[in-house]
Amino acid sequence: MTRDPADAAAQPLIANEDVYAEHDIVREGAEGEYVEIEESELGSPGAFIWVLTVCAGISGLLFGYDTGVISSTLISINTSLSARPLTTLDKSLITSSTSFFALLASPLTGLLADSMGRKRVILVADILFVVGALWQAQATTVAGMIAGRSIVGAAVGSASFVVPLYISELSPSPFRGRLVTVSSLLITGGQVVAYVIGWLFSTMPGGWRWMVGIGAAPAAVQFAMLWFLPETPRWLVKVGRKEQARRVLGRVYGSAGDEGVGRLVDRVLRKVEMEIAEEEDAAGQRAVPEEGKTGLKARWSRVSDNFAQLVDVGGNRRALIIACMLQGFQQLCGFNSLMYFSATIFSLLSFDSPTLTSLSIALTNFAFTLVAFYYIDRVGRRRILLYSIPVMIVGLALCAVAFRFLELPARSHVVGSSTSPTDIGPDASNQVGGTRFIPLTILLSMLLYVSGYALGLGNVPWQQSELFPLSVRSLGSALSTATNWGSNFIVGISFLPMMEKMGPSATFVGYAVVCGAAWATVYGIYPETAGLGLEDVGGILRGGWGVAESLRVWRARRRGRGQDERIRGEARGNR
Ligand SMILES: O[C@H]1[C@H](O)[C@@H](O)[C@H](O)[C@@H](O)[C@H]1O
Residue 283 in domain: no
Q: What is the pLDDT of residue 287?
A: 52
Q: Are residues 34 and 99 in the same domain?
A: no
Q: Are residues 153 and 95 in the same domain?
A: yes
Atom of ligand 1 nearest to the CA of 336: 8
CA–centroid distance, 413 to ligand 1, in Å, is 29
R_g (Cα) of the chain, nearest Å? 25
Q: Is the CB of 388 under 6 A from ligand 1?
A: no
Give the least confident one: 255-259, 308-312, 339-343: 255-259
Q: Are residues 367 and 237 in the same domain?
A: no
Tell me the C-alpha distance between 504 and 406, whole Å: 10
Q: Is the CB of 392 under 6 A from ligand 1?
A: no
Atom of ligand 1 nearest to the CA of 184: 1
Domain membership of residue 156 as a residue range: 47-229+311-525
Question: Mean pLDDT for the chain?
Answer: 81
pLDDT grade for 6, boundaries at 50, 70 and 90? very low
Q: Whose CA is nearest to atom 2 of ligand 1?
A: 458
Q: Is the CB of 97 under 6 A from ligand 1?
A: no
**Ligand 1 pocket check: which of 184, 333, 366, 370 to mutate, most ligand atoms within 8 Å of Cβ?**
184
Q: Are residues 384 and 520 in the same domain?
A: yes
Q: Is the CB of 459 under 6 A from ligand 1?
A: yes
CA–centroid distance, 125 to ligand 1, in Å, is 18
Q: Whose CA is nearest to atom 5 of ligand 1?
A: 188
- Please give the full DSSP string across 372-387, using - where no structure is assigned: HHHHHHHH-HHHHHHH
Residue 284 in domain: no
Q: Is the CB of 339 under 6 A from ligand 1?
A: yes
Q: Mean pLDDT over residues 545-559, rounded? A: 86
Tell me the C-alpha distance between 143 and 90, whole Å: 9
Per cent of the chain over pLDDT 90 is 43
Q: Are residues 268 and 409 in the same domain?
A: no
- How many structural domains compose the chain? 3
Residue 301 in domain: no
Q: Residue 505: pLDDT above 60?
A: yes
- CATH number, position 262: 1.10.286
- Please give the full DSSP string across 517-572, using - where no structure is assigned: HHHHHHHHH----TT--HHHHHHHHHSS--HHHHHHHHHHHHHHHHHHHHHHHHHH
Residue 293 in domain: no
CA–centroid distance, 111 to ligand 1, in Å, is 24
Residues 6+ apart with CB under 8 A from 409: 348, 419, 423, 424, 427, 428
Residues 6+ apart with CB under 8 A from 361: 195, 338, 339, 342, 446, 447, 450
Q: Are residues 274 and 315 in the same domain?
A: no
Residue 285 in domain: no
Q: Are residues 213 and 241 in the same domain?
A: no
Q: What is the pLDDT of residue 20?
A: 34
Q: Whose CA is nearest to atom 4 of ligand 1?
A: 458
Q: Whose CA is nearest to atom 6 of ligand 1?
A: 188
- List pLDDT tens digits, range 287-332: 555 555 566 777 777 778 888 989 999 999 999 999 999 999 999 9
Under a CB-based contact definition with an 8 Å cutoff, are residues 543 and 417 in contact? no
Q: How far is CA 100 from CA 96, 338, 490, 491, in A?
A: 6, 18, 9, 11
Q: Are residues 159 and 27 in the same domain?
A: no
- List pLDDT tens digits, range 411-444: 444 444 333 333 333 344 444 445 788 899 999 9
**Pick from 574, 528, 535, 261: which is nearest to 384 by CA?**
528
Residue 367 in domain: yes
Q: Are residues 249 and 386 in the same domain?
A: no
Q: Is the CB of 365 under 6 A from ligand 1?
A: yes
Under a CB-based contact definition with an 8 Å cutoff, are residues 319 and 466 in contact? no
Q: Whose CA is nearest to atom 3 of ligand 1?
A: 458
Tell me the C-alpha distance between 358 and 195, whole Å: 7
- List pLDDT tens digits, range 16-52: 333 333 334 344 444 444 443 433 455 567 788 889 9
Q: Are residues 475 and 566 in the same domain?
A: no
Who wins on pLDDT, 71 or 488? Answer: 488
Residue 480 in domain: yes
Q: Are residues 138 and 252 in the same domain?
A: no
Residue 306 in domain: no
Q: Are residues 236 and 223 in the same domain?
A: no
Q: Is the CB of 184 under 6 A from ligand 1?
A: yes
CA–centroid distance, 458 to ligand 1, in Å, is 6
Q: How large is the angle between the packed helices 47-76 and 176-201, nearest 10 degrees? A: 30
